[in-house]
Amino acid sequence: MNCANCGTPLPDNAKFCLTCGRPVTAATGAPAAPAAAAAPQKVNCPGCGAPLVPVFGEMVITCDYCGGVVALGGGGWKEINKHTMLTPKIVDAKGALAVVQQFLDVGMFHRHAFEESTIAEQNLSFVPFWVIPASASTSYLYQDLAVGIGGTVASIAGAELLGAALGGGRRGGFLPIPVMTGPPVNPTRNETLQGTYEYPVVAVKGMTDYQPKSYEFPMKERTFFDKKSIPAGAPILNGDLGEDAAQHAAKSYVGQLQSDLAHKKHHMVSQIQSQVEVSEGELVHVPIWYILLDRKGQKSMLLVDSHASRVIPTFVPS
Ligand SMILES: [Zn+2]
Ligand SMILES: [Zn+2]
């Protein structure tokens, strides 16, 4: 089967195109039955019909049998067609620890941290993230110090040159030097920063402390979710954060990043305003190693993206 829109080859059971995002209509031509506004306690898997029993608070459930996903939104439980995954490249704890060790060895403050630590916990799980496309436009004012100082220097130099020239020509005579005050150089400038993101918001509220910061998953390498790609024993986590909440969170995280960028680029930033637009997200299960290190009683958690083999920077520093 090929995508009717862009021609990308897709597996027969694909529900949307990985390249252009267009939904694929089922070969039978029968449109999916609209999700009934069922009581939130009970829902059947739209893929295989198995009953799914949400634990209290759960809003994103993956079917144990077929890997289908339902999420609770304003209109009740709804099938999530855009469900993808990143495949694990590090499947053993040793590999994950090597990534952590390398990360700690590079950091100035972590010297010998790894050697002095014991590993309190290490486990691989598939964590659901809402990846929210966002585009941001941030405008702000800043003080352009270069222009301010440059302007002053230029006018002093100009006055001195003028004085020298006139004084040289009329030696001995009194000459009022005309003070040439142009309009004052206003060093206040405005700037607009544009940015586009595929912002990952962790769908498990208990993991919000480990929310990635300035980190994007390599979405070009994602594949359709397939239970066969999950190593035995690695749990596939359900989520308790719906897409609406994820979009809301993405707006706020992106606003924060844009503000960080503005402050990195300029000094004395003021009146900063971000306009962040978000669109429909995608549910991606990402293989993540959680490594809990204990260094003389001080515990720190590090997250390793098992697909990209990198430690994920989080809002709460490791
Ligand atoms: Zn396509
Ligand atoms: Zn199912």
- The alpha carbon of 24 and the centre of ligand 1 are apart by a number of angstroms equal to 9
What φ, ψ does residue 251 adopt, rounded to 5°?
A: -55, -45
Among residues 101, 100, 91, which one has the least CA distance to residue 123? 91
Structure tokens at 158: 């100009």
- The alpha carbon of 94 and the centre of ligand 1 are apart by a number of angstroms equal to 39
Please answer whether residues 249 and 201 qualify as being in contact, where contact means their C-beta atoms are separated by less than 8 angstroms.
yes
Q: What is the tens place of the pLDDT at every residue in 200-230? A: 999 999 888 889 998 999 999 999 999 889 9
- The alpha carbon of 25 and the centre of ligand 1 are apart by a number of angstroms equal to 12
- The alpha carbon of 123 and the centre of ligand 2 are apart by a number of angstroms equal to 25
User: Quick one: which ligand is closest to 62's CA?
Assistant: 2
Please answer whether residues 155 and 180 qualify as being in contact, where contact means their C-beta atoms are separated by less than 8 angstroms.
yes
- The alpha carbon of 85 and the centre of ligand 2 are apart by a number of angstroms equal to 16
- The alpha carbon of 31 and the centre of ligand 1 are apart by a number of angstroms equal to 19
Where do we find the tokens 């000094």?
Answer: 267
Question: What are the angstrom distances between the C-alpha of 168 and each of 62, 118, 162, 164?
Answer: 88, 80, 10, 6
User: Which residues crowd ion ligand 2, with CB under 5 Å?
Assistant: 45, 47-48, 50, 63, 65-66, 68
Where do we find the tokens 């992106």?
Answer: 254
- The alpha carbon of 23 and the centre of ligand 1 are apart by a number of angstroms equal to 8
Where do we find the tokens 């690695």?
Answer: 234
- The alpha carbon of 11 and the centre of ligand 1 are apart by a number of angstroms equal to 12
- The alpha carbon of 13 and the centre of ligand 2 are apart by a number of angstroms equal to 13
User: Quick one: which ligand is closest to 46's CA?
Assistant: 2
Where do we find the tokens 């040289």?
Answer: 168
Beta bridge partners of 305: 288, 310
Structure tokens at 255: 């606003």
- β-strands 83-85, 282-295: how paired? parallel
| DSSP secondary structure, 58-89, as one string | --EEE-TTT--EEEEETTEEEE-S-EEE---S
pLDDT at 87: 96
Spans of the chain, pLDDT less than 50: 27-40, 149-154, 156, 168-172
Structure tokens at 97: 């620890």
- The alpha carbon of 106 and the centre of ligand 1 are apart by a number of angstroms equal to 41
pLDDT at 181: 58
Q: Distance between CA 111 and CA 115 in Å, rounded?
A: 9
User: Quick one: which ligand is closest to 7's CA?
Assistant: 1
- The alpha carbon of 44 and the centre of ligand 2 are apart by a number of angstroms equal to 8
Structure tokens at 281: 């997200």
CA angle 210, 215, 220 (to 5 degrees): 125
pLDDT at 142: 92
- The alpha carbon of 200 and the centre of ligand 2 are apart by a number of angstroms equal to 25
- The alpha carbon of 220 and the centre of ligand 1 are apart by a number of angstroms equal to 13
pTM: 0.79
Q: Distance between CA 248 and CA 162 in Å, rounded?
A: 61
- The alpha carbon of 69 and the centre of ligand 2 are apart by a number of angstroms equal to 8
User: Quick one: which ligand is closest to 61's CA?
Assistant: 2
Burial class (CB in 10 A: 0-12, 13-18, 19+), 198: middle
3-state helix, strand, coil in the chain (%, to 5): 25, 35, 45
pLDDT at 36: 47
Structure tokens at 53: 């029993």
